[in-house]
Amino acid sequence: MKTITIIACVVLTSFVLFSCGQSVQRPKQSVIARKYSDGDKPADLSKYSQATFAAGCFWHEETLFESIKGVAEVVSGYAGGDTEHPTYESIETGTTGHAETVNIYYDSSKISYPQLLDIYFAAMEDPTQVNGQGPDHGTQYRSIVFYRNAAEKNMAQDYIKKLNATGKYNNPIAATVDPLTKFWEAEDYHQDYINTHTENPYVSGVSIPDIQHYQQRHPEMIKPGRNFATGK
């Protein structure tokens, strides 16, 4: 999401859209994106289970998980570092220790933690990329599964071990499994950013095609009206 990244996206947008097999063009993107804001969000999130992941740009991760059936809400923020009260400007320096992170509130009777892990790894552009995802580079874009308890820790570690054992990738999975110490909610303007910013070349040329790529392969997981691949 850096300025240089956005400039590069303007030049490469047509290539990215083609390579990701995008079937929904920009005017339709905005229609679908606005549907993510339809309906009331739960007033009380305390009854939901939570999962916390970092994997590059949090705009992308937030919108992807908000399209998943069983997910009630996703909040963008920062985690993984020791700096108190991080801001977007401070974490972009790469010196705070924090990574762009999403906190997911989900109904465990409709979707399980292992299923969220499936989505997390399957939707990554390259789960072996160290300190970044796609065009975003730096420790602030590193991949982390944050766990709240021993069960989540074991599930995440087992998942990575099995994924490495498949031989699907030439390099080891880069995501680390770390305890969640504190999640810092990001500034208001970062929340639901994609919903109203499809004119941003990074959003239309990188984020949405990446989201669409997962949705295209797993339409059964996507809420009605939230699929950038089909427009439905």
**Structure confidence by residue, pLDDT tens digits, 104-141:** 999 999 999 999 999 999 999 899 999 999 888 999 99
Is there a domain that residue 173 lies in? yes
Give the amino acid at 66: E
Is residue 57 annotated as a catalytic residue, yes or no?
yes
Residue 227 falls inside a structural domain = no
Q: How confident is the model at residue 143 (pLDDT cuts 50, 70, 90)?
A: very high
Residue 3 has pLDDT above 80, yes or no: no
Which has the minimum average pLDDT: 40-49, 80-89, 151-160? 40-49
Residue-number span of the structural domain to which 97 is assigned: 3-221
pLDDT of residue 28: 85
Domain membership of residue 166 (yes or no) is yes
Structure tokens at 137: 């580079």
pTM, entire model? 0.89
192 phi/psi in degrees, rounded to 5? 55, 35
What CATH number does residue 20 fall under? Answer: 3.30.1060.10
Q: Which of 24, 32, 33, 57 is catalytic?
A: 57
Q: Which two tokens stand for residue 82?
A: 């020791």
Q: Domain count of the chain?
A: 1
Say if CB 91 and CB 78 are below 8 A apart: yes
- Determine the Cα–Cα distance for residues 65 and 102; give it in Å rounded to an integer: 9
